[in-house]
Structure 1
Amino acid sequence: MITTRRVLHVDLDAFFASVEIRDNPSLAGKPVAVGYGEGSRGVICAASYEARAFGVRAATSVHVARARCPNLILIPPRHDRYSDVSREVMEVLGRWSPVVEQVSVDEAYLDLNGTEQLHGSLEDAGRGIRAAVKSATGLTISVGGASSKLVAKIAAGAEKPNGLTIVSPGSEAAWLAPRKVGVIPGIGPVAQSVLRELDILTRGDLATAPDDHLVRRFGDRGPDLRLLARGIDDTPVDDGGERKSLGREMTLDDDVADPEALETLLLGLVEEVSYSLRSEGLLARTVTLKLKDAEFQSITRQVKLAQPSDLASPIFEAARALLEKTARGSAYRLIGVSTSDLGEEEQLALFDGAAQARERTITAAADTMRRKYGEDAITRARLLEDVD
């Protein structure tokens, strides 16, 4: 007997901005953005829905954001805080399923197979999880449910914010059919232009397109695109087992090519990753940079550190070197950094050199200040200054 899979995708709504508004209720209902710097090279990394109404989105330059929204409230990121809140959310999700795959600081998949007696239908579970996260953290989430990760993710974005969309088994193709092909992972602006030449505008068009048309224009990748358009995806929800890596990534609403803006975004991600490493008592040996270009093609580059570390400086320098070698003026819609080859801090601290030991002392003091006086008590000057 074939068992229908039960998958939920959970996506925190405007996560960074929502955390800032939750921590400072006077910001509620106002256009709030989280971002770095004030010049034309300053960049927004998250925006509230009130700010998005003015066209302020992730990767919008601060200069453009202020022109579009003169009353914009710009807040420097507090990545330590976002990491802590993210862990709170993941702890809640862990009560609903033993298999939770966290894919970013604000997104996760849950495998709910076999939990029918405990949690009921996918809709019941989704409604319960929304309420549980709201009760525990004060934040809203959007939830999508389906028989595959692909459709569950698309469903989670269908009714944001605070949405709940369940696509029943067997209805995936019909539900997807009227939606634009551009929301399919892997189909960027250039591919959309090619599809338009073939009169393929929706997922339904793509799902019924002849193989020879697609192979001629996309090669071996063509038939795979048609499967995605039908919602066919058997990728399992993977909790990763024992921690093998720790990373963060950011999807950008606008493609970013400016190297300084990319470096600034990368530094913020590294700060978050290094804080998480220290919180879990781990040191990392390997640093991996991830980029996704305008055509949704993923690029990963990896390097080993000279010494295992949980500090931002060596991790950032390694990631920045990879970025300089890789980017070369291209535009990207996702940037991420992850660390792997993890070991316990007590075992690997022997590898610390004098410079790393000094930074560890400074970092420990900074972490203490953040915990005592708030996450914004201290941050790197680069994440505040005008980088023009």
Structure 2
Amino acid sequence: MHEGTPSRQDRRPRILAHVDMDAYFVEVELLERPELRGRKLIVAQDSGRSVVLSASYEARADGVRSAMPLGRARQLSPRALILPPHPLRYREFSLRIMEYFGTVTDAVEQLSVDEAFLDLTGARRRLGTPEEIGRTIRREVREQFGLPCTVGIADRKFIAKIASTRAKPDGLLVVPPSQRLDFLHSLPVRALWGVGGTTAAALEQLGISTVRQLAETPEDLLRRRFGVTGSHLRRLAWGDDERTVQPHREEKSIGAEETFAQDVSSTAELHEEILRLSHRIAARLRAAGMSAQGISLKLRYRDFETLTRSATLTHPTQSALTIRSRAAVLLDRLGPRAQPVRLIGIRAERLHHDGGALQLSFDRAETNWIDAENVLDAVARRFPSAAVGPASLLRSESGGREDTDAADDRSSAPDDVG
């Protein structure tokens, strides 16, 4: 079949798009600070242990990459300007962008805060050719949100994703079914989705550096070397990917964590950070219209030993008060700590749709608190740069901390298949 036997998909080709926002965090920041366009920009918390969350293409030209330690990024691009992140703003734009995608097609599979697969097969008669639909998406995202995006279109999901990667930034690449294998076989093997550094190095030891070479390698040889992963990679090299777009891909949990600039021994400071993280998680739950019935706490010590503890709530909640209270109990139950703490994190689990589940609570304090939090949400949406929150948290946040939304926000393919 690989060498040319037509399948049902070949006779009735799907039209699948991968839409990826370009330098998303940076571009959202530029909406507020357009005078910075064209400069070397890095979005990160300005602290010693911070990592790069996003970088402008001008900074990327110096070698700066996402997830790189900020210290290394400063060495590569010493003139880059560091911009603090605004996670809530990124999520609000993401929700609006995904809503727009839903007007193009009902089949939208959100991969992360800034990318999604769209099945456009049923939209062709209404919206035109794949090229025309791709151009429309890029134009309307720019007009409605002021943000650039890149679109890759093919009849296979992984090829659409490769196409968007090859077309970046702010581009469009359509790979027709008739050109599928020519396109794939022209690529380095590292371009395959799921082939990371380790797998690529192992393949290169076998003399395989291109997708064409991978396709022409006997399957039994690949299977002996890589097991079932070898067979999977060879199928990809022949464009064999029948996966469909899976709409309504939901978060299984929502979390946030913080790596301290200096290891922390103070219980009071840990409780303060629990409060701050609880408010961030609760705001995200409310924005998503979800409640959580499970809470987990993660603690990482100086020597990188990591402990996790979890608890089930009596009813689903989206209240920072409840999340904080339960997480604080989990921390206290750990007892005396033998080492200072490097990182603390909280995760809301067992998510339920509809924050109305809070009506099951008979705790008037919780009801009053959630009302107050809704007011804070409204103020934050109206004044994005304003500092809103409990008085105990309205203090300088320039003390060198690394905040990470440990949510399932930045999903990506694993470094190596299998």
TM-score (norm: length of structure 1): 0.77
Which residue of structure 2 lines up, in the alignment, with residue 176 of structure 1? 184
Structure 1 residue 248: deviation in Å? Answer: 7.3
Q: Could you tell me how far apart the structure 1 residues matched to 2:352 and 2:150 are?
A: 32
Q: Is the 8 A contact 2:162 2:193 kept in 1?
A: no
Which residue of structure 2 lines up, in the alignment, with residue 306 of structure 1? 313
Q: Does 1:121 align with 2:135?
A: no
* Residue pairs, 1:100-111, within 5 angstroms: 100-111=108-119
* Residue pairs, 1:5-84, within 5 angstroms: 5-39=14-48, 41-84=49-92
Say which SS state the counterpart of residue 284 (structure 1) adopts: strand
Q: Is the 8 A contact 2:46 2:82 kept in 1?
A: no
Q: Does 1:199 align with 2:207?
A: yes
* Residue pairs, 1:339-358, within 5 angstroms: 339-351=349-361
Q: Aligned-residue CA RMSD in angstroms?
A: 3.8
Moved more, 375-384 or 46-55: 375-384
Say which SS state the counterpart of residue 167 (structure 2) adopts: coil
Q: Could you tell me how far apart the structure 2 residues matched to 1:173 and 1:51 are?
A: 34
Pair 1:228–1:141, CA change in 2 (3 A): same
Pair 1:89–1:104, CA change in 2 (3 A): same
Q: Is the 8 A contact 2:50 2:69 kept in 1?
A: yes
Which residue of structure 2 lines up, in the alignment, with residue 212 of structure 1? 220
* Residue pairs, 1:1-388, within 5 angstroms: 2-39=11-48, 41-240=49-248, 245=251, 274-286=282-294, 305-307=312-314, 308-310=316-318, 314=323, 339-351=349-361, 360=370, 363-364=373-374, 366-375=376-385, 377-378=387-388, 384-387=398-401
Q: Is the 8 A contact 1:80 1:375 kept in 2?
A: no
Say which SS state the counterpart of residue 122 (structure 2) adopts: coil
Q: Could you tell me how far apart the structure 2 residues matched to 1:387 and 1:228 are?
A: 42
Pair 1:148–1:218, CA change in 2 (3 A): same
Pair 1:191–1:106, CA change in 2 (3 A): same
Say which SS state the counterpart of residue 36 (structure 1) adopts: coil
TM-score (norm: length of structure 2): 0.72
Structure 1 residue 306: deviation in Å? Answer: 2.8
Say which SS state the counterpart of residue 138 (structure 2) adopts: helix
Gaps of 5+ in 1: 251-257, 262-266, 290-300, 322-336
Q: Is the 8 A contact 2:260 2:400 kept in 1?
A: no
| Residues matched between the structures, number | 349
Structure 1 residue 28: deviation in Å? Answer: 0.7
Pair 1:162–1:272, CA change in 2 (3 A): farther
Q: Could you tell me how far apart the structure 2 residues matched to 1:386 and 1:136 are?
A: 35
Q: Is the 8 A contact 1:9 1:107 kept in 2?
A: yes
Pair 1:62–1:163, CA change in 2 (3 A): same
Q: Could you tell me how far apart the structure 2 residues matched to 1:383 and 1:215 are?
A: 52
Say which SS state the counterpart of residue 17 (structure 2) adopts: strand
